[in-house]
Structure 1
Amino acid sequence: MAENTTAATNRNSPESHAQMGDETIGHGNSPAAWTCVLVMILGAAVSSFAYIFASTEGNRDTGTVLFWIGILIMFVGLLVGFVMRKAGYGVGGSKLKNNGH
């Protein structure tokens, strides 16, 4: 039984993935990922507020515009994260000091 556990552990280690040519995905702990997520949360908050605001009488047009602005902010968050990753601020990026943590 212990041999099967060891084999499974070795097969799923980052070293074995590197040998197989696979890329280790990780958790996205980088300035690019955090910025992307925070901007997208802001966009979701704007859209959520706008959805409720649009449901009140007389605010339908303003709420609809705000809703789409929130959606646009979420797409901007994706773009910002992508640009930051390409600039070296993603996981394993050239601008980050890799201290093993």
Structure 2
Amino acid sequence: MAGSSHGHGHTPAAWTGVIISFIGFLVAGAFMVMANSVGFWAGMVLIGAGAVVGGVMRAMGLGQNPKPLKMVGAPVATREPATAES
């Protein structure tokens, strides 16, 4: 897979969403160790906010454009439609 990256995740929307979610994981983990449930849930909210922010930024056009799927391999044989004989 090395060298086969086609821009996967290299967008402002992806970076922003991941950074916010990562901070949320750090906050939730730290407060979980400190046995503080309010701080833990605040971190969990940050994790969800990262997903929402990334999705909104993608909808605004700052994400990767969807690419059509390519079929790999031999083409599928098709049959001609049956004709009615009169």
Same fold (TM over 0.5): yes
Q: What is residue 72 of structure 2 aligned with on the other side?
A: none
- Greater helix fraction, Structure 1 or Structure 2: 1
Unmatched segments (≥5 aa) in structure 1: 1-24, 55-62, 94-101
Q: What is residue 85 of structure 1 aligned with on the other side?
A: 58
Aligned residues: 61
Aligned structure 1 segments of 4 or more residues deviating by more than 2 angstroms: none
The residue type paired with residue 90 of structure 1 is G
**TM-score for the superposition, normalised by structure 2:** 0.66
Larger radius of gyration: 2
- 1:73 Cα offset (Å): 0.4
- In angstroms, what is the RMSD of aligned CA positions? 1.7
Superposed CA deviations along residues 47-93 of structure 1, whole A, max 9, x for unmatched, are: 00001111xxxxxxxx1000001000000000000000000100139
Match of 1:75 among 26, 44, 48: 48
SS at match of 1:28: coil
Q: Using the aligned pairs only, state the percent identity.
A: 39
Larger RCO, structure (CA 8 Å, separation 6 or more):
2
Q: Distance in 1 between matches of 2:30 and 2:9?
A: 28
